[in-house]
Amino acid sequence: MTTLRSLIFVALFYIWSLVYVTTILPLMFAPRRVMMRAWIPWSVGIRVLLRVVCDIRVELRGRQFMPTGAAIVAPKHQCMLDVFAQFAWLPDSCFVTKKELMWIPFLGWYAWKGHMIVVDRSGHSAALKKMVRDAKERFVHDRQLVIFPEGTRGPPGVPGDYKPGIAALYRELDVPVHPVATNAGVHWPAHGFLRKPGIIVFEYLEPIPPGLKRAEFMRILEERIETRSMELLPL
Protein backbone atom coordinates (compact mmCIF):
# COMPACT_ATOMS: atom_id res chain seq x y z
CA MET A 1 0.00 0.00 0.00
CA THR A 2 2.84 2.42 0.84
CA THR A 3 4.41 1.82 -2.57
CA LEU A 4 1.14 2.48 -4.41
CA ARG A 5 0.42 5.59 -2.36
CA SER A 6 3.93 6.85 -2.99
CA LEU A 7 3.63 6.38 -6.75
CA ILE A 8 0.30 8.22 -6.79
CA PHE A 9 1.77 11.04 -4.73
CA VAL A 10 4.80 11.45 -7.01
CA ALA A 11 2.55 11.59 -10.08
CA LEU A 12 0.19 14.13 -8.48
CA PHE A 13 3.10 16.16 -7.13
CA TYR A 14 4.55 16.67 -10.61
CA ILE A 15 1.15 17.34 -12.16
CA TRP A 16 0.30 19.88 -9.44
CA SER A 17 3.71 21.54 -9.73
CA LEU A 18 3.64 21.74 -13.55
CA VAL A 19 0.14 23.20 -13.61
CA TYR A 20 0.99 25.69 -10.89
CA VAL A 21 4.31 26.97 -12.26
CA THR A 22 2.79 27.54 -15.69
CA THR A 23 -0.24 29.28 -14.19
CA ILE A 24 1.84 31.83 -12.28
CA LEU A 25 4.17 32.58 -15.20
CA PRO A 26 2.58 36.06 -15.77
CA LEU A 27 3.77 37.00 -12.27
CA MET A 28 7.25 37.34 -13.74
CA PHE A 29 6.05 40.86 -14.57
CA ALA A 30 4.66 41.52 -11.08
CA PRO A 31 6.56 42.87 -8.04
CA ARG A 32 8.90 40.44 -6.33
CA ARG A 33 6.78 40.18 -3.17
CA VAL A 34 3.78 39.10 -5.25
CA MET A 35 5.80 36.25 -6.75
CA MET A 36 7.01 35.17 -3.30
CA ARG A 37 3.48 35.07 -1.91
CA ALA A 38 2.38 33.02 -4.91
CA TRP A 39 4.48 30.12 -3.62
CA ILE A 40 2.31 29.76 -0.51
CA PRO A 41 -0.59 27.89 -2.22
CA TRP A 42 1.89 25.59 -3.96
CA SER A 43 3.53 24.70 -0.66
CA VAL A 44 0.19 24.18 1.03
CA GLY A 45 -0.95 21.99 -1.87
CA ILE A 46 2.05 19.69 -1.40
CA ARG A 47 1.20 19.26 2.28
CA VAL A 48 -2.42 18.48 1.39
CA LEU A 49 -1.29 15.80 -1.06
CA LEU A 50 0.98 14.28 1.58
CA ARG A 51 -1.87 14.14 4.08
CA VAL A 52 -4.55 12.80 1.73
CA VAL A 53 -2.49 10.40 -0.38
CA CYS A 54 0.32 9.27 1.93
CA ASP A 55 -1.14 9.79 5.41
CA ILE A 56 1.74 12.12 6.25
CA ARG A 57 1.01 15.15 8.40
CA VAL A 58 3.43 18.10 8.44
CA GLU A 59 3.73 19.83 11.81
CA LEU A 60 5.41 23.16 12.58
CA ARG A 61 6.77 23.64 16.09
CA GLY A 62 8.64 26.44 17.83
CA ARG A 63 6.62 29.25 16.29
CA GLN A 64 7.79 31.55 19.08
CA PHE A 65 11.32 31.27 17.67
CA MET A 66 10.42 32.05 14.05
CA PRO A 67 11.90 35.30 12.69
CA THR A 68 9.70 38.06 11.34
CA GLY A 69 12.46 40.40 10.15
CA ALA A 70 16.03 40.11 8.94
CA ALA A 71 17.56 36.89 10.22
CA ILE A 72 19.44 33.78 9.15
CA VAL A 73 17.49 30.51 9.15
CA ALA A 74 19.57 27.32 9.34
CA PRO A 75 17.50 24.15 8.77
CA LYS A 76 18.62 20.54 8.91
CA HIS A 77 18.57 19.25 5.32
CA GLN A 78 17.14 15.76 4.69
CA CYS A 79 14.84 16.17 1.67
CA MET A 80 13.37 18.70 -0.74
CA LEU A 81 10.39 19.28 1.54
CA ASP A 82 12.80 21.21 3.77
CA VAL A 83 12.74 23.86 1.03
CA PHE A 84 9.10 23.69 0.00
CA ALA A 85 7.73 24.00 3.53
CA GLN A 86 9.50 27.27 4.35
CA PHE A 87 7.73 29.14 1.54
CA ALA A 88 4.45 29.00 3.46
CA TRP A 89 5.86 29.89 6.88
CA LEU A 90 8.44 32.65 6.52
CA PRO A 91 7.26 36.20 5.72
CA ASP A 92 9.85 36.85 2.99
CA SER A 93 12.33 34.02 2.55
CA CYS A 94 15.50 34.21 0.51
CA PHE A 95 17.31 30.93 -0.17
CA VAL A 96 20.99 30.39 -0.81
CA THR A 97 20.81 28.39 -4.05
CA LYS A 98 23.50 26.54 -5.96
CA LYS A 99 24.22 27.85 -9.45
CA GLU A 100 23.23 24.60 -11.20
CA LEU A 101 19.58 24.97 -10.15
CA MET A 102 19.25 28.22 -12.09
CA TRP A 103 19.33 26.27 -15.37
CA ILE A 104 16.10 24.42 -14.52
CA PRO A 105 13.10 25.89 -16.42
CA PHE A 106 10.59 27.75 -14.24
CA LEU A 107 12.53 27.03 -11.02
CA GLY A 108 15.51 29.05 -12.19
CA TRP A 109 13.32 31.84 -13.56
CA TYR A 110 11.34 32.16 -10.35
CA ALA A 111 14.47 31.99 -8.20
CA TRP A 112 15.85 34.88 -10.23
CA LYS A 113 12.58 36.81 -9.84
CA GLY A 114 12.60 36.14 -6.09
CA HIS A 115 16.14 37.54 -5.80
CA MET A 116 17.53 34.35 -4.33
CA ILE A 117 21.25 34.24 -3.59
CA VAL A 118 23.02 32.14 -6.21
CA VAL A 119 26.31 30.50 -5.22
CA ASP A 120 28.94 29.02 -7.50
CA ARG A 121 30.40 26.37 -5.22
CA SER A 122 33.53 26.12 -7.35
CA GLY A 123 34.28 29.78 -6.70
CA HIS A 124 35.58 29.22 -3.13
CA SER A 125 36.56 32.51 -1.41
CA ALA A 126 35.20 34.69 -4.23
CA ALA A 127 31.85 32.89 -4.03
CA LEU A 128 31.80 33.35 -0.25
CA LYS A 129 32.41 37.08 -0.54
CA LYS A 130 29.68 37.42 -3.16
CA MET A 131 27.23 35.50 -0.97
CA VAL A 132 27.87 37.86 1.96
CA ARG A 133 27.55 40.91 -0.29
CA ASP A 134 24.27 39.68 -1.77
CA ALA A 135 22.93 38.81 1.70
CA LYS A 136 23.55 42.36 2.92
CA GLU A 137 21.55 43.67 -0.03
CA ARG A 138 18.63 41.34 0.75
CA PHE A 139 18.62 42.37 4.41
CA VAL A 140 17.77 45.94 3.41
CA HIS A 141 14.29 44.48 2.79
CA ASP A 142 14.17 42.56 6.11
CA ARG A 143 14.22 39.15 4.44
CA GLN A 144 14.85 35.79 6.11
CA LEU A 145 17.98 34.25 4.62
CA VAL A 146 17.65 30.45 4.49
CA ILE A 147 20.88 28.49 4.22
CA PHE A 148 21.34 24.76 4.81
CA PRO A 149 24.53 24.54 6.90
CA GLU A 150 25.35 21.06 5.61
CA GLY A 151 25.12 22.21 2.00
CA THR A 152 23.40 19.04 0.82
CA ARG A 153 20.80 16.50 1.89
CA GLY A 154 21.73 13.72 4.29
CA PRO A 155 20.00 10.68 5.81
CA PRO A 156 18.21 10.91 9.18
CA GLY A 157 20.32 10.12 12.19
CA VAL A 158 23.63 10.97 10.51
CA PRO A 159 25.34 14.23 11.57
CA GLY A 160 26.15 16.43 8.60
CA ASP A 161 29.37 18.11 7.55
CA TYR A 162 28.69 21.74 8.45
CA LYS A 163 30.17 24.13 5.88
CA PRO A 164 31.92 27.49 6.57
CA GLY A 165 29.42 29.57 4.58
CA ILE A 166 27.00 30.04 7.46
CA ALA A 167 29.83 31.10 9.79
CA ALA A 168 30.83 33.84 7.33
CA LEU A 169 27.23 35.07 7.11
CA TYR A 170 26.88 35.00 10.89
CA ARG A 171 30.05 37.06 11.36
CA GLU A 172 29.37 39.63 8.63
CA LEU A 173 25.61 40.14 9.00
CA ASP A 174 25.48 40.44 12.80
CA VAL A 175 21.97 38.99 13.14
CA PRO A 176 20.53 35.99 15.04
CA VAL A 177 20.68 32.53 13.50
CA HIS A 178 17.52 30.42 13.86
CA PRO A 179 18.30 26.67 13.80
CA VAL A 180 15.60 24.31 12.51
CA ALA A 181 15.47 20.59 13.40
CA THR A 182 13.51 18.01 11.42
CA ASN A 183 12.79 14.32 10.90
CA ALA A 184 11.55 14.86 7.33
CA GLY A 185 13.93 12.32 5.81
CA VAL A 186 12.21 9.50 7.67
CA HIS A 187 9.03 10.03 5.66
CA TRP A 188 10.41 11.72 2.51
CA PRO A 189 13.88 10.27 1.84
CA ALA A 190 16.53 12.23 -0.03
CA HIS A 191 16.56 9.57 -2.74
CA GLY A 192 13.82 7.24 -3.91
CA PHE A 193 10.07 7.68 -4.18
CA LEU A 194 8.69 5.99 -1.03
CA ARG A 195 6.72 8.29 1.27
CA LYS A 196 6.22 6.63 4.66
CA PRO A 197 3.14 7.49 6.79
CA GLY A 198 3.62 9.48 9.99
CA ILE A 199 4.32 13.01 11.18
CA ILE A 200 6.98 15.22 9.63
CA VAL A 201 8.13 17.80 12.16
CA PHE A 202 9.91 21.06 11.46
CA GLU A 203 10.92 22.66 14.74
CA TYR A 204 12.37 26.15 15.07
CA LEU A 205 14.81 26.22 17.96
CA GLU A 206 16.04 29.01 20.22
CA PRO A 207 17.96 31.49 18.05
CA ILE A 208 21.70 31.96 18.48
CA PRO A 209 22.47 35.62 19.22
CA PRO A 210 25.10 37.47 17.18
CA GLY A 211 28.58 38.17 18.42
CA LEU A 212 29.92 34.72 19.32
CA LYS A 213 33.33 33.48 18.24
CA ARG A 214 33.27 31.31 15.12
CA ALA A 215 34.13 28.03 16.86
CA GLU A 216 31.58 28.56 19.63
CA PHE A 217 28.88 29.52 17.16
CA MET A 218 29.45 26.44 15.00
CA ARG A 219 29.51 24.18 18.06
CA ILE A 220 26.18 25.52 19.37
CA LEU A 221 24.56 25.46 15.93
CA GLU A 222 25.48 21.85 15.22
CA GLU A 223 24.67 20.71 18.74
CA ARG A 224 21.18 22.23 18.72
CA ILE A 225 20.23 21.02 15.24
CA GLU A 226 21.64 17.52 15.55
CA THR A 227 20.47 16.88 19.13
CA ARG A 228 16.88 17.89 18.47
CA SER A 229 16.76 16.20 15.06
CA MET A 230 17.86 12.96 16.68
CA GLU A 231 15.16 13.33 19.33
CA LEU A 232 12.53 13.66 16.60
CA LEU A 233 13.42 10.29 15.08
CA PRO A 234 11.11 7.32 15.80
CA LEU A 235 12.17 5.05 18.65
* CATH number of the domain to which 26 belongs: 3.40.1130.10
Domain range holding 62?
A: 2-231
pTM: 0.93
How confident is the prediction for the chain on average, in pLDDT?
A: 93
Q: Which pLDDT does position 101 carry in this prediction?
A: 83
Can you tell me the distance from the alpha carbon of 168 to that of 134, in angstroms, rounded to the nearest whole number? Answer: 13
> Do the beta carbons of residue 117 and residue 131 sit within 8 Å?
yes
Q: Which pLDDT does position 71 carry in this prediction?
A: 94
Confidence label for 123 from pLDDT (cuts 50, 70 and 90) = low
> Do the beta carbons of residue 47 and residue 113 sit within 8 Å?
no
Confidence label for 15 from pLDDT (cuts 50, 70 and 90) = very high
Can you tell me the distance from the alpha carbon of 30 to that of 138, in angstroms, rounded to the nearest whole number? Answer: 18
Q: Which pLDDT does position 37 carry in this prediction?
A: 93
Residue type at position 189:
P
Tens digits of per-residue pLDDT, 126-185?
Answer: 888 888 899 999 998 999 999 999 988 999 999 889 988 899 999 999 999 999 999 999
Count up the domains in the chain and report the number: 1
Per-residue pLDDT at 235 exceeds 80: no
Tens digits of per-residue pLDDT, 46-100?
Answer: 999 999 999 999 999 999 999 999 999 999 999 999 998 988 899 999 999 888 8
